[in-house]
């Protein structure tokens, strides 16, 4: 829940969000203290965009500063990046039980196919495989709908016959015919594994979801199981603050429901053993005592599966502030579970960008001011705001759920009690954001959808600074703000929790980006920057984010619901005063803001209500808000937006090729680590599949 995705995106997205409104003009980046840092004026020479297929594009990112790290730090990054890669199969298997089977089969065909590789079928097959890689499985990473193949069944059947059988993941007792039948069914039958995460409250969320967190268990049974577990723990005076169900699969065996933990010796053991191996290596070059302790605890957790150890690890991790190199590694986010309990595996390896971190420090140093002055009810404010640390990082490696599509910011840990007692770490991933910017230069999106040339000019001048700052505030103020009533937990909002939580963080940031305090603290040179942010947010929430929705579909993804909720709510509440106005020009729809201060007031009102809903665990109110404002799509406008967007020929989602790290040895010891930038997505995916496949396909 504490992933930040780019908020409104003009062009590119991964899981994302923010629009980075930069065309091929000079980009001025405000650093903290109000100084202006001139960024590159043109595209730099590095090739950011490598290819585009389906609705996706592939980008690369650079790791500036890696060369000047110490050898010890470079080794640490190397070991952690190996650990990050070792969890890849876990993500695949968690997303759907058929994923590894389908991937290995398709990779065998991709490598061994002897027929005409320039045929339409083979090209469509290759496209399908790229989409599998991009999505870590059969389902679109964002919509969670199953990807439909465009190659023919006949082609697939004959391709399986033509490849060397030993390269196929045939189960011992299966004939090639049985295998072929099973695989064609999984891939072509739309009734199998239709949706990865169903959020449709009219059905059983667990049974309607193809994610691999439950087996033979209904939603009701799962909810009862965890309620009973918690009650029993409370009776036995055990720690009930743990994240129940976070690292287990819930199954029914002989009529009995039980948890199978993901740990060494449990499910996913072959991959987790490798993750642990590299974490053990990392321990030997830890930068600080705290970092070493946190790595030890993380290994302990992977060995035992104990959620108490997991919390202890997070406390250690969140208090390790001095090390330059840092990492995320574990079962972290629960977006992939319709009940928001089970966490997907992910890893991000990074190091601090000292210069840019100064900006976020100003934000977090003033956290108490923002909390005290926010429009929320006094009873739901934190009385003191502890240890919110914010930093800007340079990403060195993405893994698991964060690869190839990645957030641009992270705020962890997720456990509320740790956040309030020990604080949280909040990061923005600057080299990733920058890669987005560079790749989107000059794609025409802003010209098409902005309401006026003035709006475009404002975005060009202030957009990057405003959106970076909004990201910071979303992460290190928004998610960290507010408190729950005693006895209330976030899971009470169930399937609406993630959207409500993201709206809360967005509203907090939106409310303050237009606050005079921004200028006073030297974070923005003008509140015009706040206006640019408002323009972009409204345009995105009411209109342009629809480019990521297929015709006839509703909005499902949490961050999109969050933005739709906010934008539609303020549009409706301010309709009489025309605070936000819809108009058309040359038959095209636009939105413009007539009253920025009025809009800020509305953001404040909604923030107050969303905080109340969160603090009171008011499920019904959350449901009403989301179902009224955040789900349904204006079909006519949707059609228009898709047509306008199509003409621009921009892929709405982006994924990344990771850099790779090469060891230089002198004798037996490592004398240096070099970073290289591969430029072919398929090659990297095949390499990962060869070198980091540790789990059985079934």
Nearest residue (CB) to Zn ion, 18 versus 494: 18
Report the distance separating Cα 261 and Cα 242, nearest Å.
15
Q: Which DSSP letter does residue 255 get?
A: T
Report the distance separating Cα 106 and Cα 191, nearest Å.
20
Report the distance separating Cα 258 and Cα 251, nearest Å.
6
Residues 333 and 341: beta-carbon distance below 8 Å: no
CB of 10 to Zn ion, least distance (A): 19
Report the distance separating Cα 37 and Cα 53, nearest Å.
35
Report the distance separating Cα 623 and Cα 618, nearest Å.
9
CB of 423 to Zn ion, least distance (A): 17
| Residue 396 CA, distance from chain mean position | 17
Return the ∠ at Cα 661 (arms to 659 and 662), rounded to 5°.
140
DSSP string for 106-122: HHHHHHH--S-TTSHHH
Nearest residue (CB) to Zn ion, 343 versus 505: 505
> Pick from 8, 38, 34, 61: which is nearest to 445 by CA?
8
Alpha helices in 284-428 (DSSP H): 289-304, 307-319, 354-365, 367-373, 416-422
Token pair 């892929």 in the structure block, residue? 651
Residues that bind Zn ion (CB under 5 A): 4, 502, 505
CB of 335 to Zn ion, least distance (A): 11
> Pick from 208, 42, 185: which is nearest to 105 by CA?
185
CB atoms within 10 A of CB 20: 28
CB of 647 to Zn ion, least distance (A): 32
Nearest residue (CB) to Zn ion, 4 versus 427: 4
Nearest residue (CB) to Zn ion, 18 versus 249: 18
Q: Record the tokens describing residue 42, joined without a space.
A: 């043109």
CB of 474 to Zn ion, least distance (A): 6
CB of 576 to Zn ion, least distance (A): 32
675 pairs with which residues across the strands?
Answer: 661
Nearest residue (CB) to Zn ion, 76 versus 480: 480
Nearest residue (CB) to Zn ion, 266 versus 478: 478
CB of 394 to Zn ion, least distance (A): 21
585 pairs with which residues across the strands?
Answer: 588
CB of 559 to Zn ion, least distance (A): 7
CB of 255 to Zn ion, least distance (A): 40
Nearest residue (CB) to Zn ion, 394 versus 414: 414
Nearest residue (CB) to Zn ion, 4 versus 570: 4
CB atoms within 10 A of CB 671: 10
């Amino acid at each position: 829940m504490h992933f930040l995705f780019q908020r409104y995106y003009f062009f590119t997205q991964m899981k994302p969000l923010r629009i980075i409104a930069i065309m091929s003009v000079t980009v001025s980046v405000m650093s903290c203290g109000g100084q202006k840092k001139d960024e590159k004026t043109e595209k730099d020479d590095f090739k950011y965009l490598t290819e585009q297929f389906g609705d996706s594009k592939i980008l690369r990112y650079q790791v500036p500063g890696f060369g000047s790290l110490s050898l010890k730090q470079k080794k640490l990054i190397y070991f952690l990046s190996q650990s990050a890669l070792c969890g890849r199969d876990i993500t695949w298997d968690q997303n759907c039980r058929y994923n590894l089977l389908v991937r290995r089969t398709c990779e065998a065909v991709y490598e061994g196919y002897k027929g005409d590789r320039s045929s339409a079928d083979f090209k469509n097959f290759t496209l399908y495989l790229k989409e599998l890689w991009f999505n870590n499985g059969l389902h679109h990473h964002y919509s969670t709908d199953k990807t439909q193949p465009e190659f023919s069944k006949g082609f697939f059947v004959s391709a399986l016959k033509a490849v060397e059988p030993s390269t196929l993941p045939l189960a011992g007792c299966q004939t090639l015919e049985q295998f072929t039948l099973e695989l064609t069914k999984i891939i072509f039958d739309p009734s199998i594994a239709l949706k990865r995460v169903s959020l449709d409250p009219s059905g059983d969320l667990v049974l309607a979801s193809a994610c691999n967190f439950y087996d033979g268990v209904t939603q009701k049974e799962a909810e009862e199981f965890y309620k009973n577990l918690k009650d029993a723990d409370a009776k036995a005076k055990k720690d009930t603050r743990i994240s129940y169900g976070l690292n287990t699969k819930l199954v029914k065996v002989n009529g009995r429901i039980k948890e199978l933990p993901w740990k060494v010796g449990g499910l996913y053991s072959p991959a987790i053993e490798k993750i642990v191996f590299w974490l053990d290596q990392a321990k030997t070059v830890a930068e600080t005592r705290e970092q070493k302790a946190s790595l030890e605890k993380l290994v302990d957790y992977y060995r035992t599966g104990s959620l108490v150890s997991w919390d202890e690890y997070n406390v250690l991790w969140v208090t390790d502030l001095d090390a330059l190199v840092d990492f995320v590694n574990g079962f972290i986010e629960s977006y992939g579970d319709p009940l928001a309990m089970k966490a997907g595996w992910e890893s991000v390896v990074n190091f601090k960008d000292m210069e840019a971190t100064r900006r976020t420090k100003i934000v977090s140093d003033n956290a108490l001011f923002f909390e005290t002055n926010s429009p929320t009810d006094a009873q739901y404010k934190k009385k003191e705001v502890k240890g919110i640390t914010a930093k800007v990082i340079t990403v060195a490696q993405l893994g698991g759920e964060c690869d190839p599509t990645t957030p641009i910011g992270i705020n962890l840990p997720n456990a509320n009690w740790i956040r309030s007692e020990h604080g949280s770490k909040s990061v923005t991933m600057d080299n990733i954001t920058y890669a987005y910017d560079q790749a989107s230069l000059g794609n025409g999106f802003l010209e098409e959808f902005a309401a006026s040339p003035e709006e475009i000019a404002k975005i060009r001048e202030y957009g990057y600074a405003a959106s970076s700052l909004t990201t910071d505030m979303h992460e290190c103020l928004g998610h960290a703000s507010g408190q729950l009533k005693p006895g209330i937990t976030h899971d009470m909002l169930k399937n609406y929790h993630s959207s409500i939580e993201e709206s809360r963080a967005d509203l907090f940031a939106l409310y303050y980006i237009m606050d005079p305090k921004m200028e006073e603290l030297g974070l923005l040179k003008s509140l015009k920057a706040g206006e640019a942010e408002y323009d972009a947010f409204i345009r995105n929430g009411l209109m342009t984010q629809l480019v990521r929705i297929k015709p006839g579909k509703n909005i499902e993804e949490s961050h999109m619901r969050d933005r739709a909720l906010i934008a539609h709510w303020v549009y409706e509440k301010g309709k009489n005063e025309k605070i936000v106005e819809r108009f058309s020009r040359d038959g095209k729809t636009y939105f413009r803001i007539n009253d920025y201060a009025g809009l800020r007031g509305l953001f404040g009102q909604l923030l107050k209500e969303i905080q109340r809903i969160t603090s009171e665990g008011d499920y019904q109110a959350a449901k009403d808000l989301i179902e009224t404002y955040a789900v349904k799509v204006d079909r006519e406008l949707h059609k228009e937006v898709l047509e306008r967007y199509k003409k621009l020929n921009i892929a709405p989602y982006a994924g990344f090729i990771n850099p790779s790290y090469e060891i230089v040895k002198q004798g037996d010891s490592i004398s240096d680590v070099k970073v290289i930038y591969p430029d072919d997505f398929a090659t990297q995916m095949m390499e990962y599949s060869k070198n980091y496949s540790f789990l059985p396909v079934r």
